[in-house]
Structure 1
Amino acid sequence: MRVLNIHKRTLNQPKSEIAELLKTLATENDRIWPKEKWPAMRFKGGINVGEKGGHGPIRYSIEKYNPNEIIQFRFLKPTGFNGIHKFEIKELSKEKTEIKHTIDMNTAGKGTIIWFLAIHSLHNALIEDGFDKLENNFSKKHKKSKWNFWVKIIRKLLAKKRK
C-alpha cells in the first residue's frame, strides 16, 4: 500500500531558530520530539548519517542530515515498512518558517495491517505533539493538540500489554 503522510506547521520564527532546535533532536535536551508522552528517539552515536536507532518498535537509519534543512531516515523495522520519513525546514520569510514531516513509503504484508490499524493514528498524534513542543519553545500559550478516541484506546491497550 502506498503511504504519503505529510504534516506541516508554520512558525513565526526565523529559520535559524528552528534549525537550532532541530539540532537537539534525539539528545538529552531534545526540544522537538515529545518524549514526555511517547517513546524517545535514540541513536547510540548521535545524529550522524549512517547511525541506526529509532523510537519504540520503529527502527530506522539516518540517510541525510543537514541541520539547516533536513533530516531523513530510512525505515528498517517493522517488516513491511519500505521507505523514508523526514523532517524538513523551509524559510517562508525572514520571520516565518515551515516545518514539515513526511512519511513516504510502501507497506507490505503485516506492515500494511499495523499501519492501517494502529501506527497511522499514533504517528499523526505523535507528530502533532512534536510540533506543539517545538511551537511551545516560542510561546507563552501552551499549545496541546487533542488525541482522537482511537489514539487513546490504542495507547491504553499498549500500556496494558507492557504491564
Structure 2
Amino acid sequence: MVRNVHERRVASPVEHVGPLLDLLGGPHDVLWPARDWPPMILDGPVGVGAAGGHGFIRYRITAHEPCRRVELAFEPGQGIDGWLAFTADPAEARSTLLRVSAEARLSGAMLLAWPAAVRWAHDAVVEELFDNAERAVGSGPLQPVRRSPWVRLIRLLESPRA
C-alpha cells in the first residue's frame, strides 16, 4: 500500500486559493505545471464523473466539494488501484493549507515503476503545483522547489524525441 501526502501553507485565504482547485485539468488551470510535465486534461469541468489524466495515468472524479476538495479514482488496469485528492482548508492567519494526498495498492509493472520513477515524478509535480498556487495568489513562492538530479533524469528520459 502506498500513501503519499504533501502539504503547504499558502499565505492567502481559502477564498482565493480554493477556487483554483476547480480549474484543474481545464483551459484556465493555473495549478498544474503543464509547461514542464504532461498536462492534466479533463473531459469537462471539475465535477463528479469528469474523466481524464496526465501522461499515462488515467482517473475519474469521484467526489467534489467546490473550492475545497477534488477526489479522483484511478482507472482500472494501470497497476494503481486507489485515489488522489486535492484539498484546500482554512488555516491560521488567513492562510490556506493546500494538500495533495494519494493512497493506492500497486500491482504489475507499477510495483517497480512507482519506487523507481513515478513516485519521484509525482512528488516533483505536486511541489511545483504548490509553487504555482503561491504564484497564482501573489504570495510567492519564497523558494521555488528545485528538482533533484534523479527527477531531472526522469524528465529527460520521458521527454518526447524530436
TM-score, length-scaled by structure 2:
0.92
Cα distance in structure 1, aligned partners of 2:29 and 2:108: 34
Residue 64 of structure 2 aligns with an amino acid whose one-letter code is Y
Cα distance in structure 2, aligned partners of 1:78 and 1:39: 20
Return 5+ residue gaps in structure 2 as ranges: none
Shift of 1:35: 0.9
Question: 1:98 aligns to what?
Answer: 97
Residue 159 of structure 2 aligns with an amino acid whose one-letter code is A
Question: 2:80 aligns to what?
Answer: 81
Question: 2:8 aligns to what?
Answer: 9
SS in 2 for 1:53: strand
Shift of 1:50: 1.1
Residue 119 of structure 1 aligns with an amino acid whose one-letter code is V
Identity of aligned residues (%): 29
Counting only pairs closer than 5 Å after superposition, residues 29-108 of structure 1 correspond to structure 2 as: 29-76=28-75, 79-93=78-92, 95-108=94-107
Residue 23 of structure 2 contacts residue 45 of structure 2 at CA under 8 Å; is this kept in 1? no
Deviates more, 1:124-133 or 1:12-21: 12-21
Pair 143,32 (structure 1): closer, same or farther in 2 beyond 3 Å: farther
Question: 1:152 aligns to what?
Answer: 152
Residue 24 of structure 1 aligns with an amino acid whose one-letter code is L
SS in 1 for 2:73: strand
Residue 134 of structure 2 contacts residue 141 of structure 2 at CA under 8 Å; is this kept in 1? no
Residue 85 of structure 2 contacts residue 101 of structure 2 at CA under 8 Å; is this kept in 1? yes
SS in 1 for 2:90: strand
Matched residues, number: 161
SS in 1 for 2:96: strand
Pair 148,141 (structure 1): closer, same or farther in 2 beyond 3 Å: closer
Residue 150 of structure 2 aligns with an amino acid whose one-letter code is W
Cα distance in structure 2, aligned partners of 1:104 and 1:85: 7
Return 5+ residue gaps in structure 1 as ranges: none
Cα distance in structure 2, aligned partners of 1:25 and 1:85: 13
Question: 1:113 aligns to what?
Answer: 112
Shift of 1:67: 2.1
